[in-house]
Chain A
Amino acid sequence: MNTVKILHCADIHIGAAQSFLGTLAEKRRYEVLMTFERIIDMAKENDVKIIAIAGDLFDSNNIEKSFIDAVFNKIACVPYIKIVAICGNHDPLDSNSPFNSNNLPENLYVLGSEDEAITFEDIKTRVYGRSFGFCYENGREKFSIIPCDNEYINLMLMHGDFKADLKSNYNAISPEFIKSSSMDYIALGHVHKRSGIEKIGDTFFAYCGCPEGQGFDELDQKGVYMGNIGKGICELEFVPINKRRHIHIIIDISDLNNENEIPDKILRSISETFGENYPENLYKIDLTGELPEDFDISLSEIAERLSDKLFFIKLRDYTEVYIDKEALAKEASLKGIFVKNMLKKIEEAQDSEKIILRKALSLGLKAFKGEVSWNED
């Protein structure tokens, strides 16, 4: 059975400025570029025949020339691998597109903004697809080029939202579209979260997700799909490639005696969970738990202590002051009466309101102790 080995990647967003990283943003931009280079190297080592880039290779059409040159130079280093790309909503194929250059590597094939197909006779494969010509594109019910023979493996690249009703500014792709395409595999892009390999009719399809997360809303392992595809065959496997992961973790520090113990607790928790590479990740850590009244937390100080051990950390304080609320509620002091009233309110409230009331109680108790402020690292 005829198969071809492909590597499916998308949404690399080379050049993206992750401003929330502050001074680390520039370093991170280069790391994303290096991840792309690792993808190419991996394709070379694994004898991949086609690399399918399903859109948003670049974060915009206005990134620095040095990034663009680096990408094209790397592609040119593997002249025997066919690299087929489509443009996404972030890097549409307009007049400013880097893909309009006259010096594109010869092994780079960019599909235009109208339905297009390229045939590679040597590997008996046809690649279909359509680029975004603009940052918004309407979805279409069908692809206008339908494979007419079974001799070739039919691979499609498409960037857009998987939506049944076609209501999206980002090239909605409906199940009917997939079914009617007669493709063997559709390499999707646009959604940064990886999907599993799905199938509608005879067509396999998947979102490979982005190879490097861009924020704390992208927490899963990132990578590419690689493997053989053919008629009725889809042996793609997920290969992690990301240098760093975004991790959101909640750590209970109720068992600690003072603030100085917090950094060690954090390091212990994340090293146990994420292994020896844990310093490489980006962490958003919510500190929770009940702490004694005299337990002061300075998020900036904790972050500073961890700054040379972790690449990036963002802390949020969700701790509450531990008090024997029941005992305190019996006191005739102002604090006691306050606690008593708050507890009563919490008890009487709906579940949805309890959280905010608890926060009010915690804030009030902190105010009895000292200055309070809007506290986020």
Chain B
Amino acid sequence: MKIKKIYISAFGGLKDFSMDFSDGFNTVFGENENGKSTVMSFIKMMFYGSSTASGLKNMRNRYNPWDGSDMAGSITFEHSGRMFRLEREFKKSNSTDKVVLFDIDMGAKQVVASDIGTVLFGLSAGAFEHSIFIGSAPDDNIDKSTEGEINAKLSNLSSSGNESVSFTEIFSRIENARLSLNSKSGKAGILDKNRIKLKEYEDSFVAGYEEIMHIKALKEKEKQLCKEISELEATANKLKTELSRANDVKNSEKLKELLSIKAELDELNKGLALKNGKFIDELFVRSIMFSIGKIENTEQKLLAKTDEEKLLKSNLEILEHPSEDMNPENAQKISDKLAEIHQNIENCENDIKTKEECISELQKELSNAQNTKKSIGIPLFIPGIFLALVSVVLLILKLNTFAFIGFSFGILAIILSITIKKIDKSLINRLNASIADNEKLLSELNLGKESLITEEKSLKEKRDLINSVLNNNTALIEKQKDALKDCSEQILALLSAKNEETEKLLGFYSNYKSACDIEEIKAELEKLSDAASKQKELKQQLNYIAKDLDNISYEEAQLRLNELNSDDITSADLTELSSSAEEIVNTLNAKKSELAALCTEIRFIEKNTPNPDEISAKIMQLKEIISAQNEFCEYSKIAMDILTDSFAEFRRSYGSQLEQDTTEIFKGLTAGKYSNVSISKSFDVTVEKANTFGTKEIDYLSSGTKDQVYLSMRLALAKLMSDKDLLPIFLDDSLDRYDDSRTVAALNFLKEFAKDSQIIMFTCHSFIAEKSRELNANVVNISK
């Protein structure tokens, strides 16, 4: 690439500024503050824009035109044999800058990215700055971030592929793949996790195996328990049989009684046998009684209905065929009679009323008489006594006359009080007698009244009947007929019900024996009822005994009785047997409980213990995966190691190229004073003097020599960094610290160097400008 021309519309202190360059060696001379750095920065920012740094490092702020104009400009350059013009209007940031690339030969233009330099040079801004943009030595160290890129770039030399990737990137790819399996912490990677999972499976298998063994032991115990229980059950059964036998002996009387009652019951049942094989019982008898009751009830209803029918028929007969005395005259006579009777009744009622009043009066009198008797007696009696006492006092006082008078009156009063009571009592008695007579008469009057009323009622009915007949009351006849019809139907229904019930009863009874009518059945009923009661009683007795004998069957009872020999068992034996049996049963129950608990435990453990085979299968599967992953880690490690060694080897190869080129340039610059330059991986430099043993690190050299070394290295690097199309090299006061002879030597070298690669050197030294002119370099005075 060759830069032909730059045009600055406005940038920093430069405005409407243009500069032409030759293809070879160019020197841009300007005193300080004339804009050399501005031009250098302009060129860089045209290709790369600016970073987002703040403060003094913000190049946009720094080069913002003082007059406030918009920063803008263009660079015309030749690249791969074609002419281009890059135009840029600087805005606030890279993303808002307007960058247009004109293909002058093709007449085309296109808007391009802000960092178009990356495309054109194949270098990032940092790499651009650290390779083809050469300043003076101290601040120009290559940092780690660009070291990789430079290495990558250099590693592309003579590559057969499209590599644009650095060793670091390749190494990282493999390492990352490896770390995804085997992380640095040893916990997060896929393989790490699989190992942990494998451990868990193995622990689970071991634990499961132990559980399995535990289950096995428990099952042995279960087997043993089952055996013990089986033996205990056999013993218990044996004891049970013996105990049963002993109990049978004890219960022999009961057995006999059981069988005896059973025999009695069987005998009784012979007479109660039904044809269906069953026997008459209380239920059977009650059913018959119920049925008979029902029939009798029906008969009574039938009787009542029959009477009713008769009456209805009679009335109907009368209504339809009235007798001779059913005439108006008779009716009238009856009415007259009724009036007379009514009058008599009224009279009677009056008499009754009078009698009642009389009786009431007499009762009042009686009451008065009873009260008067009491009130008269006492008022005379007390004064009488008083007078008597006074008389005694007078007598004492020897007032005999007065005493005699008083005493006489007193005695008289007392006699009178007693005499008057006797008179009242006879009155009372008379009154009572009178009342009794009147009440008797009253009673007769009431009876007479009753009789009259009855007669009145009867005559009324007869009169009504005659009137009905006389009035020819069809509705009444019809009503009578309907009533009669209903009555007849009810009689029929009752008859039918009675017959049906009777048939039913006879049918039911025929299960026992045949009967012609219910009278026959009634005759047997009492006997049957007694037999059924007896039967019930016997059955109850049997139940009680059977319960005591554990509900033994009769056959079994007979068998036991036959087998029994009462001499065999004593009560002591029985007690001992019972005790042993109880003990065995208790032990057996305890063992069974233990077995149940054990079975539950076994079931629980079995259910919750994974099959070791399943875990084993998982372990195998996982081990296979782990093995493959381990293998991956192994060969990825091999790849990484070989790659590292290869890179070192490669570094040595291009490194040697770099060293070689640097040595050549350095030799040229120092006129052969130095013979060798060594450059490390991190671009640390040592030099070797010609004809002198040993090397020296660059830091120990003079500043001028150091500058020469760096310049040499940077020139060599720049050359190497350029792809097929050599890039221009920008030197910014790089010969600053050179003495005159070194300067001349450097300029001569640069002149030669510029034959292959365009050099644009910025300097503030007129000497350098002058010398450059002497070497026919394109010298531009920026001040002008």
Q: Which residues of A does B touch, CB under 8 Å? A: 20, 60-62, 89-90, 94-96, 133-136, 293, 327-328, 331-338, 340-342, 345, 356-357, 359-361, 363-364, 367-368, 370-374, 376
Contacts and interface: CB of A to CB of B under 8 A. Distances in A.
Contact of B173 (A62, A95, A356, A372): A372
Contacts of A340: 646
20 contacts: A94-B606, A95-B603, A95-B606, A328-B160, A331-B159, A333-B158, A333-B161, A335-B159, A337-B650, A338-B643, A340-B646, A341-B642, A342-B642, A357-B635, A360-B635, A360-B636, A368-B170, A371-B176, A372-B177, A374-B629
Name, among A61, A136, A331, the residue most crowded by chain B CB atoms within 10 Å (CB to CB): A136
A363 B650 contact: no
Contact of B634 (A327, A345, A356, A373): A356
A293 B161 contact: yes
A328 B631 CA distance: 26
Given A60-B611, A360-B635, A374 B190 contact: yes
B602 A333 contact: no
B267 to A, nearest CB: 48
B174 A135 contact: no
Given A333-B160, A374-B181, A376-B628, A364 B155 contact: no
Contacts of B216: 134, 136
A333 B164 CA distance: 12
A241 to B, nearest CB: 23
A367 B163 contact: no
B642 A367 contact: no
A68 to B, nearest CB: 15
Contacts of A368: 161, 163, 165, 170
A89 B614 CA distance: 11
Interface string B644-666: 01110110011000000000000
B621 interface: yes
How many B residues are at the interface, by size bracket? 35 or more
B643 A364 contact: yes
Interface string B169-185: 01101101100110000
Contact of B180 (A20, A335, A373): A373
B19 interface: no
A323 B26 CA distance: 47
B252 to A, nearest CB: 43
A303 to B, nearest CB: 18
A20 B159 contact: no
Contacts of B433: none
B635 A356 contact: yes
Contact of A356 (B155, B599, B603, B638): B638
Contact of B646 (A96, A338, A371, A372): A338
Contacts of B167: 334
B119 interface: no
Name, among A327, A333, A359, A361, the residue most crowded by chain B CB atoms within 10 Å (CB to CB): A333
Given A20-B621, A338-B646, A359-B631, A333 B155 contact: yes
B159 A364 contact: no
A296 B23 CA distance: 45
B613 interface: yes
A367 B603 contact: no
A142 to B, nearest CB: 21
Contacts, number: 132
Interface in B188-233: 190, 212, 215-216, 219
Name, among A89, A338, A370, A373, the residue most crowded by chain B CB atoms within 10 Å (CB to CB): A338
Contacts of B190: 374
Interface in B569-606: 599, 602-603, 606
A371 B177 CA distance: 8
Name, among B171, B181, B614, B639, the residue most crowded by chain A CB atoms within 10 Å (CB to CB): B639
A92 to B, nearest CB: 9
Contacts of A94: 219, 602, 606
A323 to B, nearest CB: 9
B607 A334 contact: no
A338 B642 contact: yes
Nearest to A92: B606
A373 B190 CA distance: 12
A341 B157 contact: no
B603 A96 contact: yes
Contact of B639 (A90, A363, A373): A363
A334 to B, nearest CB: 5
A136 B211 CA distance: 12
Interface of B: 155-161, 163, 165, 167, 170-171, 173-174, 176-177, 180-181, 190, 212, 215-216, 219, 599, 602-603, 606-607, 611-614, 621, 628-629, 631-632, 634-636, 638-639, 642-643, 645-647, 649-650, 653-654
Nearest to A331: B160
Contacts of A60: 611, 614
Contacts of A328: 160
Contacts of B638: 356-357, 360
A364 B634 CA distance: 13
Contact of A361 (B158, B606, B639): B639
Nearest to A337: B646
A242 to B, nearest CB: 20
Contact of B635 (A334, A338, A363, A370): A363
Contacts of A367: 170-171, 173-174, 177, 639, 643
Contacts of B176: 371
A161 to B, nearest CB: 13
A342 B165 CA distance: 20
Given A334-B163, A334-B646, A364-B643, 11 more contacts: A90-B611, A94-B219, A96-B606, A136-B212, A331-B160, A332-B158, A336-B159, A340-B646, A363-B636, A367-B171, A367-B177
B642 A90 contact: no
Nearest to B610: A60
Contact of A61 (B174, B606, B639, B645): B606
A95 B631 CA distance: 45
A133 B634 CA distance: 46
Name, among A20, A89, A371, the residue most crowded by chain B CB atoms within 10 Å (CB to CB): A371
A283 B159 CA distance: 41
Contacts of A61: 606
Nearest to A363: B639
A134 to B, nearest CB: 6
Sorted nearest first, the 4 A-B pairs with minimum C-beta distance are A360-B635, A360-B638, A333-B159, A338-B646
A374 B177 contact: yes
B653 A332 contact: yes
A3 B772 CA distance: 117
A331 B219 contact: no
Nearest to B609: A135
A94 B173 CA distance: 55
A96 B607 contact: yes
A133 B220 CA distance: 11
Given A95-B599, A333-B650, A90 B613 contact: yes
Given A135-B612, A338-B642, A62 B607 contact: yes
A374 B180 contact: yes
A144 to B, nearest CB: 17
Contacts of A373: 177, 180
Contacts of A337: 646-647, 649-650, 653
Name, among B174, B215, B612, B642, the residue most crowded by chain A CB atoms within 10 Å (CB to CB): B642
Contact of A133 (B158, B163, B219): B219
Contacts of A134: 212, 215-216, 219
B163 A333 contact: yes
A364 B155 CA distance: 16
Contacts of A332: 157-158, 650, 653-654
Name, among A90, A356, A371, A372, the residue most crowded by chain B CB atoms within 10 Å (CB to CB): A372
B684 to A, nearest CB: 21
Contacts of A364: 170, 174, 639, 642-643
B212 A371 contact: no
Contacts of A341: 642, 645-646, 649
A366 to B, nearest CB: 8
